[in-house]
Each structure stands twice: as C-alpha cells, then as structure tokens.
Structure 1
C-alpha cells in the first residue's frame, strides 16, 4: 500500500531541502521531533522527541536509501512510538522536490511499502507535517495543528 502527498511551497529547492534534513528546522513542523543523520546513502537516521526530563524518546529509525540534493531523498522507516506501529514493520518515505518557476517547488512525499490496511498512525500525520513545513517556509511562523497541540510545537 502507498500514500501520496503533494504540496506546492514558495521556496527554492535548496531551502526546502535544508528544511527537510536540518534537525532543528524539522522539529518546528514535525511535532517537535528531530531527525538526525548525515544523510548519505546507507547512513542510519533517528527520529526522537524530548521527554520532560530532557532525555531523548525514540520515535522512529531507518536507513537513508537515496540522496540526490536538492531533488530526492528516500529512507526506510521503522516507527517506534507505540507497540502497534512497531508491528507494522519497515516502510519507505520518499521526498521528491521539483522547482516550479524561479520561486516555488512541488513537493511530493510518497510513503509506501505499507502493509495493506496499515495503521493510519504511520501516515495520518503527513498532511499536518507538510502544512507546517509550508507555513514555516513561507511565513517563518509555526502552524497549530492537532499534532502540534498533542505532541509539542517544536522550537
């Protein structure tokens, strides 16, 4: 099963790419979760939140599968935030950036290798995450979403 999300963002491909791979920026629109890696093929990545005591809480992990800055990033993903999503196994997330004119981009996020009837917690947050990314890049402001209210607003 696959889920496809498409959004248009007023930003250069380079700025959009940086917002995807920079852990501090990513936390701003990804419910406070940081994604850390050196983003080279074969590298490991970790997605973590911060517990009230300041310790890291693992939310996901995987491997960087493809890197073609600032056009394409593919990564495997093992969700870790609950036993239910852990049982779903490994899926794949691919980010594709295409310039539109001189000042905008089309961002396509494909979340695939999902089990048929997969738990919607695996992919249900993408509309909020991508809307938050668009808002932050275009305005510098954080977007309030149900996910940001529940999990934290980032930095």
Structure 2
C-alpha cells in the first residue's frame, strides 16, 4: 500500500488478487461495500449524473446519537465498468467537513499480473483540509479511523479471503 499526500491530492494504491469485475463489484455493490472499511453501505446510480450515498450504520449512530442516516454523498461523474469510476464525495457526518463541500474521487482498476489488479484511488481535496487530514489517516488517534489506507486494506482482505480485517 502506498500513499502520497499533498495539500490537494492524495493517491492511494493497493494490489488485489482478483478480477477487475470482482473489485468493481466490491466498490459499487452495497452487499460488498457495507462489509469493509467503516461498514457504511453505499449505493451508486451508475450513470453520469447519478447519486452516490453512503449510510450510517447502527454502530455509528450509537457512537453519535445526533448522526443522521447519511454519512457521505456525491454524484457520479464518469462510469466505465469495470475499469473506472469518477464521483464527487462529501463527508456529511461532521459539520466542518460537510461545509468544505464536494471533493473529487477517482477509482481506477487496472489488470496488473497473474490475476492481480492494481486499484488506485485518487482523492482531489482542494479546499477541504479537514477532510484531507481524515482520509489520509491523520485523525486515527481520535478514533476517526485510518482513512483510505484502512479502507483499501480492508477491501483487499475481504475480496481475497472473504473476510474483512476485523471480524
């Protein structure tokens, strides 16, 4: 897992022993994407202009009783299954991050070697310093989690073994 961070762009990459189709499904299907990372199932309308919404789990709501149902929202910009998904992404769970507005997130899936895919997540975070710190894992010590590095590690574990890192 590599990660490069600047003030405005973070690039995270992981190699997964799976087909591009399986990795695509893990990203876009709520049956899969609700099983890794922070467990928030996400729904995509897989068309340009479609909605993206990730929903708070009961555990998240128990931790923060003021939390609504929606954790993250956005809009699908580009869809090229099973290779590329571009979307906007806005954190709704924290008012300060929500006020930073929408950022741009690109999922790129490339076949690499011997049944292994390279998954690259590019998160453009211009004007969103609070979100940039969180998704880079900078708030892990506060209980906010390990950001994209954790999410992608967990996705890799789930796809390769059938089980997430924890559980």
Distance across 2 between alignment mates of 1:32 and 1:51: 10
Give the TM-score of the pair, scaled to structure 2: 0.79
Once the two structures are superposed, the pairs formed by residues 46-85 of structure 1 within 5 Å of their partners are 46-51=53-58, 57-85=69-97
* Residue 47 (structure 2) aligns with: 40
* Residue 134 (structure 2) aligns with: 121
* Residue 152 (structure 2) aligns with: 130
CA RMSD in angstroms comes to: 2.1
Q: Of the two structures, which has the highest relative contact order with CA contacts closer than 8 Å and spacing of 6 or more?
A: 1
Shift of 1:63: 0.4
Q: Is the 8 A contact 1:111 1:123 kept in 2?
A: no
1:29-82 CA distances to partner (integer Å, 9 max, x unpaired)? 1211011122111101111123368x9721011100000001000000111011
Structure 2 counterpart SS, 1:41: coil
Distance across 1 between alignment mates of 2:77 and 2:40: 21
Distance across 1 between alignment mates of 2:15 and 2:97: 29
Alignment of 1:3 onto 2:10? yes
Shift of 1:84: 1.7
Once the two structures are superposed, the pairs formed by residues 21-40 of structure 1 within 5 Å of their partners are 21-40=28-47
Distance across 1 between alignment mates of 2:136 and 2:126: 9
Aligned length: 145
Q: Which runs of 5+ in 2 are unaligned?
A: 1-7, 62-66, 138-146
Q: Which runs of 5+ in 1 are unaligned?
A: 145-152
